[in-house]
Chains A and B, each alone.
Chain A
Amino acid sequence: MSMYPISKTVITSSSSSVINLNSIPSTFAHLQLRVFGQTNRSTYGIDDLYIYLNNDGTASYSSHYILGSGGGVNSGSSYNANYITMPGMMASSTSNSLIFGLFITDILDYTNTNKNKTIKNMGGADLGGTSAGGIYGYLDYDSGCYYNTNVVNSITIGSASGSYWQPGTVVCLYGIQTSNATGA
Chain B
Amino acid sequence: MPISLASTSASSMHGAVVPIAYITGNGSSNGVTFSNIPQIYQDLYLVVTGGNSNSGADNPILVTFNGTYPNPLGWTYMSSNGSSASSSRTTSSDRIVFNGTATNIATSSNPGTYIAHFFNYANTSTYKTILCRSAEDANGSGQTALTIGLLRSTSAIVGFNVSQSSGNSTPTTTTFALYGVRTVGQ
Contact = CB atoms under 8 A, between A and B. Distances in A.
Interface string B121-144: 001011101010100000000000
A36 B123 CA distance: 11
A124 B76 contact: yes
Interface stretch (A76-84, A106-114, A125-133, A143-151): A125-133
Interface residues on B, range: 35 or more
Interface string B168-186: 0000000000000111111
Contacts of A28: 10
Contact of B119 (A3, A11, A18, A102): A102
Interface residues on A, range: 35 or more
Contact of B6 (A23, A70, A96, A125): A23
A100 B5 contact: no
A174 to B, nearest CB: 5
B15 to A, nearest CB: 5
Contact of A66 (B16, B78, B126): B78
A170 interface: yes
Nearest 10 pairs between A and B by C-beta?
A68-B78, A129-B91, A70-B89, A68-B87, A23-B6, A16-B1, A126-B150, A36-B119, A8-B183, A3-B16
Given A100-B127, A137-B148, 20 more contacts: A3-B16, A3-B181, A4-B13, A5-B182, A21-B3, A23-B6, A70-B87, A71-B88, A91-B129, A102-B117, A102-B131, A102-B148, A122-B146, A124-B131, A125-B129, A126-B129, A128-B150, A139-B76, A139-B77, A139-B148
